[in-house]
Structure 1
């Protein structure tokens, strides 16, 4: 390990430089990192890396899921809950089933159980890849919300399928009743454990004398404790992290100070930046180990199987996207849905084309045991590994490189808000300034007459500005201004809850501005 330490340091430096290059040439960095990892793996003298699946599942996955659950809007997830759960559970299951039947029919030696095992591995799209690609193009808010929500849940559903298939291959039998009970416990137990641990951490943040550093350390510990606790009792660690993260994210303004929120965001962005870079580089670097274990089948045949499975996944996801639209339009006649307008052919096509696979698939494949309980070799393990790698590589290159062009070419109709985002932002700013001015005049009328700083605030709010400037404040003014900032925060949170169609990202921008104003007071 120590002799390779300079190599690992060089790897991190290379990742940073490659991501800078990716941003420069407008290419999603996961694509560039995987290709670079492939190229580096063929250089002479490069140490062969062995990716321990536990490194992915227990070190990388919890913080990445936790950060994603803090970034996603719970309101948007709830609004599009039917389509999100359909993609995260139903589409993943249908993808796994399609792969199972195709593999069983076309790949020699593949039983139906092995097909489901492969399907569970390659069925979940990778959220990081889609997010990195979509930042170069503008898509409607509803699409990004659906993709973000799906990404939080599809890893859990695919890993559940993977576990059941692994048992079926190892034991040669599959008991539906036991599987149903186990599935229920994995879902209910995972969510329950995550919410419980999240609630405990929320109380710790709120009632113990924490500061900024301890708050950030606690946010690092939280996802690992959630994940390990759930896995220890054989429920879903992924769902535990997602549920706990959503609970804490949705209540962040109740237990974290403005300083902790601001610095926490900066830390987590940098932390996950490094983690994401490492996992995609490791995918490319692992090719020599994967190829070396391929025995009993030629490279060309294995590549053909991989391309076949990739085609099944791509076509299946596109068909599922159109199917989801049709089902939603039919269901809208009988139940209330978030939106019953026909999105046309463009939106489902883009949703279907965002099916890039990533590191969770590779980690699941690597976690297949080398031997069964009786000591015999696990059937088709090396071929499954190679097919998984081909699926990841092809979807990243094919879909990852063409998705921005496809979005720009067909033009996606915006079925969300009719007003531009900047106009909505300025409208809320104007309402917020008026609300703050009313609060100041109603509750602090005497101080307003005697304090020039408060009078300046009133003048600026009358001009639709909620900034108090950089002037030094008297302590009495600070107390009043802090109260007004808290009132602004409450008003924004209430507005976000009351107006379902309002983009929560706009509200978060205002909340961040209030946090910055509160931070400025500590230095004045």
Structure 2
């Protein structure tokens, strides 16, 4: 077996096994990936993997950053703009500086440019594990939005510092004043290119609406279309990819249809997972050689890793528990007071500053002749390990200990939207019943269904008691859902049986199966879970409609 075949097989097996274990242990997969990836490099017989540094950022960053922006909330980004900006720029700069100072003090031979490179690698946060835990435990949506928004922007600011520091380390000079000017040019230039590319792509996405395959392919290309030109012009490709994602995100309802959205969700879920998984495992494959090439002893390396990790964690803790009080002193407007959060929420936010894929990609992208490259890689992995594993595994305990609970904002917004959509549908049905092409029986049937839905939503909102006959419309909805699900299962079984006995082809089966799947997905809001039978059996557990 060739070297590349063995490497590929090892990667796939490792990713599959670690992901399966994460499911069994019910922990976010990045935590298991960083543990397993770190151990893989010491397994005897596994091949050494050498990556081309020039390709790492190009292959991994554009799609990861684009899709993070595409699935973000521009409204929440605007609402939390000041907090996100302070954390994504101020905290990133502070983290890069404190890490650089500590690293330079502990390793005197380490140049300032190399130290700042390490600081920039350790500065950006990764929201995957933190938001997965936060959503599972029902923390307020505002906190989740803040973590995601900060991560979206701080990737760009950290990698601008990274570019400047790497150029200085390789070129041999570092001027703080010129670095500050370059930072501004990088940011403005990257955003401008992202805006130009995003608005140029909108007409093309509209024309591709009828072709889900083309549409998803274009979305994959979009991040690269902004990233590569920006990098060629020596501005931030990262911010270019993020900006084009935000532009397309805002216009997504006009440039996508249901089939495109379903196809895109499935594609991006798998791609983002694979890119993250490969980054963690690839670093693990190189860890053994990184340690072997070091002149320093393993205890010394671990001590340095612990010091840098503690610096990253403490810097965030101090920042998030001091800067809010400074802002409160300077801005005492009533509308700003309403946006304040307590120290418990800030502690959860501070403990959610985990590092992940972007830091790994930046570390792997260091030139092979970069001074102390192996040391920087090792310390970066230590920071990722400490934040993902130590903080990730203790975050659920911290959330429960501090009594952080869901504030119900998302549920109230969902209920409001459902009621507005239902009212609009009923009004439209009354308008259309006079049209020549409609049938009274069909209109009456649909009006009855929407009337039941409207009354059920009023019950959920607490505006309506049980029906006069004592019937809970929630039970009515669950019974109907169970009946429809049973009919869908019956149809699916018949279609599969016809395929199995050769009556219909696999292509016909897949066409009909997809139609039934879409119909079943339409039941999801009324089931509260993908498993219809389980959800109906738990109908008395106050599920949402």
Name the TM-score class by shorter chain. Answer: 0.7 to 0.9
8 Å Cα contact 1:114/1:169 also seen in 2: yes
Residue number among 364, 367, 370 corresponding to 2:365 in the alignment: 367
Match of 1:464 in 2: 453
Cα distance in 1 for residues equivalent to 2:365 and 2:277 = 21
Pairing of 1:118-129 with structure 2 (within 5 A): 118-129=118-129
Cα distance in 2 for residues equivalent to 1:204 and 1:261 = 16
Residue number among 365, 376, 379 corresponding to 1:384 in the alignment: 376
Give 1:239 shift. 0.8
Say which SS state the counterpart of residue 337 (structure 1) adopts: helix
User: How many matched pairs?
Assistant: 464
8 Å Cα contact 1:186/1:234 also seen in 2: yes
Unpaired segments of 5 or more residues in structure 1? 372-377, 471-511, 517-524
Give 1:78 shift. 0.9
Root-mean-square deviation (CA, aligned residues, Å) is: 2.9
Unpaired segments of 5 or more residues in structure 2? 458-476, 485-520, 526-545
Give 1:55 shift. 3.9
Give 1:240 shift. 0.9
Give 1:46 shift. 0.7
Instruction: Specify whether residues 206 and 18 from structure 1 end up closer, same or farther in structure 2 by C-alpha distance, changes over 3 A only.
Output: same
Say which SS state the counterpart of residue 137 (structure 2) adopts: coil
Instruction: Specify whether residues 164 and 438 from structure 1 end up closer, same or farther in structure 2 by C-alpha distance, changes over 3 A only.
Output: same
Instruction: Specify whether residues 386 and 11 from structure 1 end up closer, same or farther in structure 2 by C-alpha distance, changes over 3 A only.
Output: closer
Say which SS state the counterpart of residue 229 (structure 1) adopts: helix
Pairing of 1:158-197 with structure 2 (within 5 A): 158-176=158-176, 178-197=178-197
Moved more, 117-126 or 405-414: 405-414
8 Å Cα contact 1:80/1:338 also seen in 2: no
Instruction: Specify whether residues 513 and 177 from structure 1 end up closer, same or farther in structure 2 by C-alpha distance, changes over 3 A only.
Output: farther
Give 1:464 shift. 2.1
Instruction: Specify whether residues 53 and 331 from structure 1 end up closer, same or farther in structure 2 by C-alpha distance, changes over 3 A only.
Output: farther
Per-residue CA distance 1:200-244 (angstroms, 9 max, x = gap): 221112135751111111111111222112111111111111111
Cα distance in 1 for residues equivalent to 2:237 and 2:524 = 32
Give 1:265 shift. 1.2
Match of 2:354 in 1: 356
Moved more, 84-93 or 299-308: 299-308
Match of 1:403 in 2: 395
Moved more, 354-363 or 307-316: 354-363
Cα distance in 2 for residues equivalent to 1:199 and 1:89 = 26
Instruction: Specify whether residues 125 and 42 from structure 1 end up closer, same or farther in structure 2 by C-alpha distance, changes over 3 A only.
Output: same
Match of 1:482 in 2: none
Match of 2:489 in 1: none
Match of 1:11 in 2: 11
Match of 1:247 in 2: 247
Cα distance in 1 for residues equivalent to 2:185 and 2:378 = 32
Match of 1:115 in 2: 115
Instruction: Specify whether residues 196 and 514 from structure 1 end up closer, same or farther in structure 2 by C-alpha distance, changes over 3 A only.
Output: farther
Match of 2:289 in 1: 289
Cα distance in 2 for residues equivalent to 1:51 and 1:122 = 20
Match of 1:435 in 2: 424
Cα distance in 1 for residues equivalent to 2:354 and 2:176 = 31
Pairing of 1:74-473 with structure 2 (within 5 A): 74-176=74-176, 178-207=178-207, 210-295=210-295, 297-334=296-333, 336-337=335-336, 339-341=338-340, 343-371=341-369, 378-412=370-404, 414=406, 417=409, 421-422=410-411, 424-442=413-431, 444-447=433-436, 450-464=439-453
Cα distance in 2 for residues equivalent to 1:136 and 1:433 = 29
Match of 1:499 in 2: none
Cα distance in 1 for residues equivalent to 2:240 and 2:428 = 41
8 Å Cα contact 1:294/1:382 also seen in 2: yes
8 Å Cα contact 1:22/1:32 also seen in 2: yes
Cα distance in 1 for residues equivalent to 2:209 and 2:404 = 49
Say which SS state the counterpart of residue 453 (structure 2) adopts: coil
